[in-house]
Amino acid sequence: MNPIRSRRLKILLLSSSFALIAYLIRRYRRYLILKKRQSLTISRKESSTNVIPPLSIKKTINKQFFHQLQVIVRILIPRLRSDSFFLLIIHLTTLITRTFLSIYIAHLDGAIVKSLVQRNPRDFLRTISIFIAVAIPASFINSAIRFAESKLALAFRTKLSRHAYEAYFRNQTYYRVTNLDTRLLTPDQNLTDDIETFTSTLTHLFSHLTKPFFDVAIVSWSLISMMRLRKTARGLKEVPALLFIVVSFTFMAVRKLSPNFGKLVSEEARRRGILRFAHTRVIANAEEIAFFDGHEVERNWILKLYDQLREQTSLIIKKKFWFIMLEQFLMKYFWHACGMIFIAIPFLTYDGPPETDDPVGDPLGISTRTEAFTVSKHLLTSGADALERIISSYKEIAELAGHTNRVYTMLHVFDECAHEHYQRASVTMDESHNEHSLTSVKRKVAVNQRAEGQIIESEGDIIAENVPIITPNGDVIVKSLSLKITPGMHVLISGPNGCGKSSFFRIVRGLWPIYSGRLHRPDPSNFFLIPQRPYMCPGTLRDQIIYPDTIDQAFVDDSKLMKILDNVELQYIVQREGGLNAERDWKDILSGGEKQRLGLARIFYHQPKYALLDECTSAVSIDVEGKIYERAKALGISLLTITHRPSLWAYHTHLLQFDGDGRWTFEILNTEKRLTLKGEKERLEAQLAGIPQIQQRLNELCQLLGENTMTIENQQYEEINDD
Ligand SMILES: Nc1ncnc2c1ncn2[C@@H]1O[C@H](COP(=O)(O)OP(=O)(O)OP(=O)(O)O)[C@@H](O)[C@H]1O
C-alpha cells in the first residue's frame, strides 16, 4: 500500500478511536448523573409519601415464608368440616382422575398406532370408538378442574376477606392503621387486590403442583412396569439414575439462576398501591383541585408514580424473558433429547426373541414395538411436562412468597394496632428551623413507646390526672393535663391553631393512646363528635339523621325526626329532597351550612351525655347557631365546644384554654368580663395597627423638611429626659 495512504488511514483510525472513547466516556458520565438523580428523586418521593419499604425478603422461599403461609392456611381451612376443605378434596379428586385418564389415553393412543401398523380395521374402529367415548368424561374432568379451582379460590378469598374485615373494623383498627401507624400505606389495596392475588396464586399453584406430583409418580410407575417387560435389554438399570441426574441438574440450574421474583412482585404491588392512592386523593379533592386549576401538579405526580410502576413491571418482564428462555432450553429441548435417548436404550439394546403376539402377521414384532414406543413417548412427555411444571413453579412459589408476605403483614399490623402496638417511621425534626412555630417547644417521645396511661370507666365525669397530649408522631403538645368536667358543665375550648384542641377530643374519646397518667371517662357511647365537615353516609335522609344507627336500630318515628330537623332549622329539606326516604349523594347536594346542621341533628337524635363540637357551626348563621345551642342545653347535653367565635361564649360555663406552648388553664368562664376584655384588646390592637404607618409618614416628612428623623423611642426618651 502507498505509505502516505497508509499513514492517513492510521491517523483516521486513531482519531476515530479517540472520538469513540470520548463519546463513550461522555455517555457513561451522563448515565451516572441520571442514575444519581433518579435515586435522589425516588428517595425524596418515598420520604414525602411516608412510604416504608416492604419487609425485607432476602431469600424468598425460607422459614419465614412457610410460617406465614401456615398462619394464613389456618384461616383458610379452619376445620376439616369447612366448605373450603370440602372444595379442596373435590379439586384433588378431579386432579387424580385426570392423571389416570391421561395414562389410559396414552395406552389407547398406542393401541390405535398398533392397529394401523397391523392394518387391522376392526381393532382400529374399536379403539377409536373407545377413545371418543373416553373423551366425554375426560372433557368433563378438564372443565371440572377449572371449576373446582375457581370455586376454591373464591372460598379462600371469602374466608380471608371476612377475617381481614373483621380485624379491620375491630377496636377502630381502620383509624389506627392509617393515623397511628405507618407500616401499611394502602390498607385498601391490601384488603382487596392483595387478598385476591394471594388466593388465586395459591389455588393455581396448588393445582399446578399437586397434579404434576401425581403425574410424575404414576407415569414413572407405568414406565418402570413397561421397562420390566424388556428384561433382556441392556443399560435399563442405569436409566432411573440418569433421569435423576438430569432432573436434579435442571432443578439446581433453575434455582441458582432464578431472579428474586417474590421481592420483585411485592415491590410492584406496593408501587401499584401508591398509584391507586394518588388517584383516590384526586377523586376526593376534585373540587379544590378544579378551583385552583391544579391538574398539572396532580398529573405530573401521577405520571411519576406510573413511571415508577412501569419501571418495576418492565424489570420483571425483562428478568422473566431470560429466565423463561433458560427454562425452555432445559426443560423443553434438553429434556426431549434426553427422553428420546432413554426410550431408545431398551429398543436398541434388546437382544431377546422377537416380541410379538402375532407371529404370523408380524413375525418381527414391529407393531408391538411401535405401540410400546408410542405409549412410552406419550408417558415420558406427560412426565416431562409434569416435572417442568414442578420446577418452573419455583418462580410461582417465589411470587406467592411475595403475596403471602403482604397479606401476612397486613393481618399482623391489624392485630398489633387492635392491641395498641404501633410502629411509625421516625420523623426527624430540626428544631432550630422552627424557632417561631409551636413545634420548636415540642418535646419528642420515642414514637414506638408503649402507651402506659390508665383509662378508668366513670359514671359520667371526665377526670384527667396528669394526662399528656402526645401526637402519633411522638410530639408532646401538652406535658400534663389535669381537670374535671362533670355533666351539666359546658366547656369552651380555645387556643391558637395546632395547640391541641382537637387532640384533647381524640384523647377523651380514646382515639389516641394515653402514654401516662389516668383518665376517668364514661363509656364511649356517651360521647358524640360533630366535626367541621360532618360525614355524610350513603343512604336516605333518615340515615343521615340517625347515623351511625341503622334503620333497624332507629328508635324514633317520623314525627320525632321532623322535630329533630326543626331543632336545627332544616325541616324544609324534607320537602325539597322528596321525603325522609329520599336517597341522594348528600355530600354533594347539600351546602356546607346544611351539612353542618344535619350533623348537629344527630346530637338531638342520640342525645349523648357529652357533645364534642369541633368548629361544627362555622358555616351556620349566628342566630341559628344560638338557637341550636339553647335547644341542646335544654335537653341536658353537656357541650364541649372548640370555636374561635366569641358569639358562642354565652352558652358555656367553663373555659379550657391552651396557649400553644404546652401550657393550659381551666377556669369558670365569665362571659361578660371576657367580652369586655376582648373588646378592649381589639380596640388597642386596632390603634397599634396604625403606628407603623404613622412612623413611616413621620420619617418621610422629616426627610422632606430636612429635619432629624424622630422615632417614637427617641421621642419618648427625650420626653423622659425633659421631665
Ligand atoms: N394524625 C396525626 N398524626 C400526627 N400528628 C398529628 C395528627 N393529627 C394532628 N397532629 C398534630 O397535633 C397537633 C395538634 O393538632 P390539633 O388537631 O389538636 O390542633 P387544633 O388545636 O385542633 O388546631 P386547629 O385550630 O387548627 O384545628 C398539630 O401539630 C398536628 O400537626
Atom of ligand 1 nearest to the CA of 506: 18
pLDDT digits (tens, 9 = 90+) for 473-488: 888 999 999 999 999 9
φ/ψ of 489, rounded to 5, equals -85, 145
Query: What pLDDT is attached to residue 324?
Result: 82
Pairing status of strand 518-521 against strand 462-470: antiparallel
**Ligand 1 centre and the CA of 500: distance in Å?**
6
Which distant-in-sequence residues (6+ apart) come within 8 Å of 622 by Cβ? 645, 647
What is the β-pairing status of strands 443-444 and 475-485?
antiparallel
Nearest atom, ligand 1, residue 499 CA: 21
C-alpha 702/C-alpha 689 separation (Å) is 22
pLDDT for res 225: 67
Helix (H, G, I), strand (E, B) or coil at 427: coil
CA trace torsion 614, 615, 620, 626 (10° rounding)? 80
Predicted ipTM of the assembly: 0.95
Q: Which of 424, 442, 501 to mutate to test the pocket of ligand 1 (most atoms within 8 A of CB)?
A: 501
Contacts of 461 (CB under 8 A, 6+ apart): 484, 485, 486, 487, 520, 521, 522
Residue numbers in the chain where pLDDT is lower than 50? 38-58, 359-361, 427-442, 716-723
Residue 482 φ then ψ, to 5°: -135, 120
* pLDDT the model gives residue 429: 39
Of all helices (H) and strands (E), which one includes residue 502? helix 501-509
Inter-CA distances, 711 with 690, 700, 703, 717, 723, Å: 15, 12, 13, 10, 18
How far separated are the first and last CA of the chain, in Å rounded? 113
| In the chain, domain spans | 1-48, 63-418, 443-669, 678-722
Give the residues surrounding ligand 1 with Cβ less than 6 Å away: 179, 471-473, 477, 495, 497-503
Instruction: State which of 477, 511, 644, 656 you would mutate to test the pocket of ligand 1, scoring each by most atoms of that ligand within 8 A of its C-beta.
Output: 477
The minimum-distance atom of ligand 1 relative to the CA of 615 is 27
pTM score > 0.80 for this model?
no
Ligand 1 pocket test: which of 503, 509, 532, 643 has the largest number of ligand atoms within 8 Å of its C-beta? Answer: 503
Q: Which atom of ligand 1 is nearest to the CA of 439?
A: 29
With helix as H, strand as E and coil as C, how does 183-230 read?
CCCCHHHHHHHHHHHHHHHHHHHHHHHHHHHHHHHHHHHHHHHHHHHC
What separation in Å is there between the alpha carbon of 249 and the centre of ligand 1?
61
| Cα-based angle 482, 484, 490 (whole degrees, multiple of 5) | 125
Q: How many CA atoms lie within 13 A of 712 on its CB side?
A: 8
Burial per residue of 373-394, b for 16 or more beta-carbon CB atoms within 10 angstroms, e otherwise: bbbbbbbbebbbbbbbbbbbbb
- Under a CB-based contact definition with an 8 Å cutoff, are residues 399 and 239 in contact? no
CATH node for 63-418: 1.20.1560.10
Ligand 1, atom 31: closest residue by C-alpha: 498
Q: Which of 174, 180, 445, 499 to mutate to test the pocket of ligand 1 (most atoms within 8 A of CB)?
A: 499
The whole-number pLDDT of residue 41 equals 41
Taking the CA of residue 179 as reference, the ligand 1 atom at the shortest distance is 1
Tell how many helices (H) and how many strands (E) occur in the chain.
22, 11
Kindly report the protein residue whose alpha carbon is nearest to atom 18 of ligand 1.
500
Amino acid at position 555, single letter = F
Burial of 202 (0-12, 13-18, 19+ CB in 10 A): buried
3-state secondary structure 342-389: HHHHHHHHCCCCCCCCCCCCCCCCHHHHHHHHHHHHHHHHHHHHHHHH
| pLDDT computed for residue 440 by the predictor | 38
* CA-closest residue to ligand 1 atom 8: 471
Q: What is the pLDDT of residues 131-163, one digit of tens each?
A: 889 888 889 998 999 899 999 999 999 999 999
Nearest to 405 by CA among 207, 169, 197, 256: 197
Question: How far apart are the CA of 441 and the centre of ligand 1, in A?
Answer: 15
662: region left, alpha or beta (phi > 0 left; psi from -120 to 50 alpha)? left
Q: Which three cell numbers stand for residue 667?
A: 377556669
Which protein residue's CA is at the shortest distance from atom 10 of ligand 1? 471
Neighbour order of strands in the sheet with 664-668? 527-530, 610-614, 638-642, 491-494, 654-658, 664-668
CA dist., res. 562 & res. 542, Å (int): 10
* 568 phi and psi angles, rounded to 5 deg: -105, 15
- According to DSSP, residue 331 is labeled I
> Closest ligand 1 atom to the C-alpha of 500?
18
Are the C-beta atoms of 640 and 483 separated by less than 8 Å?
no
Closest residue by Cα to atom 13, ligand 1, is 498
CA distance 300 to 281: 14
- Residue 391 CB-half CA count within 13 A: 29
Q: What residues contact 283, with CB distance under 8 A and at least 6 apart? A: none
Pick the CATH number of 443-669 from 3.40.50.10680, 3.90.70.10, 3.40.50.720, 3.40.50.300: 3.40.50.300
Which one, of 155, 154, 145, 153, lies nearest residue 214 by Cα? 145
Nearest protein Cα to ligand 1, atom 5: 471
Q: Residue 472 Cα, ligand 1 centroid: separation in angstroms?
A: 10
User: Could you give the CA distance from residue 711 to residue 691 in angstroms, rounded to a whole number?
Assistant: 11
